[in-house]
Structure 1
């Protein structure tokens, strides 16, 4: 899910150590074709935040490595961004971190006649995503390797949680 193609994986191998040295995690890599290819890299700091300055810092560091190693044939644009509020979930830790929030999962195979599931994340256990699905009494366990795509669903609760992380942590009473 973090990568889809061999080219994505080659780029991932180059950029992950660079991001780690900056205390950042690569969330997803996609190379989009077109007249000029676009290398999209989503990343976040270890605390889950990512602002414009961090994107610029990572972009500069990745540009140097990508220019030197040249894993992309032809010209390309490098696009570094945060995962956003309705972020993709691409690693087991993401399912743990976002437990209690609504998510959409798309599988690479049919399960009970369907590939798409939406429900409340309940964590990650034994290489499986735990998700509470509507009209089901028990928590479903979906093997992580079956997931082709996963992302959070925009809800009021998610917006509130996102806003809470953006609030200044200094509660010294200095309010405007």
Structure 2
């Protein structure tokens, strides 16, 4: 089974598990590092706590044991997306408009691989709208590998 198919399948299962709980599914990743990892990122207003993660993990583990959709051995992780969360869904680009984001490109864009800008939003035709040096710019999403919330330390 392809990685994307597994991620979609798990996302549907998690959506059913968290329905009506106030939790939101942020992302699902099925990746191979040294081992295979199935990572589920959840959030809610005010942030998730350990009990939220544990409850989703236990319910999802039970479903995965029953349906056994993944043939590989893997480690299940359920957690918060973190302060520097990746923005993927259209609603993320609306929710975090006005915040600083770190933009990572597949290849150099205007001479840089990464930049930090203020998020303005996202257009319907696949353009990321940002404010950079007091001017608005649009960047084609197909050129962007990742958009994360920027954290100032």
Judge same fold: TM > 0.5, yes or no: yes
The residue matched to 2:66 in structure 1 has which SS? helix
Higher strand share: 2
Aligned length: 150
Say what the alpha-carbon RMSD is for the aligned residues: 2.6
Under a length normalisation based on structure 2, what TM-score does the superposition of the two structures give?
0.79
User: Which structure is larger by alpha-carbon Rg, 1 or 2?
Assistant: 1
Q: 1:110 to 1:5 in 2, by over 3 A?
A: farther
Q: CA deviation at 1:96?
A: 1.8
Under a length normalisation based on structure 1, what TM-score does the superposition of the two structures give?
0.70
Q: 1:150 pairs with 132, 142, 147, which one?
A: 147
Once residues 49 and 57 of structure 2 are traced to their aligned partners in structure 1, the CA distance between those partners, rounded to angstroms, is 12
Q: 1:105 pairs with 103, 110, 113, which one?
A: 103
- Answer whether contact 1:102 1:155 (CA < 8 A) is retained: no
Q: Which runs of 5+ in 1 are unaligned?
A: 157-176
Q: Which runs of 5+ in 2 are unaligned?
A: none
Once residues 140 and 96 of structure 1 are traced to their aligned partners in structure 2, the CA distance between those partners, rounded to angstroms, is 17
Once residues 42 and 52 of structure 2 are traced to their aligned partners in structure 1, the CA distance between those partners, rounded to angstroms, is 9
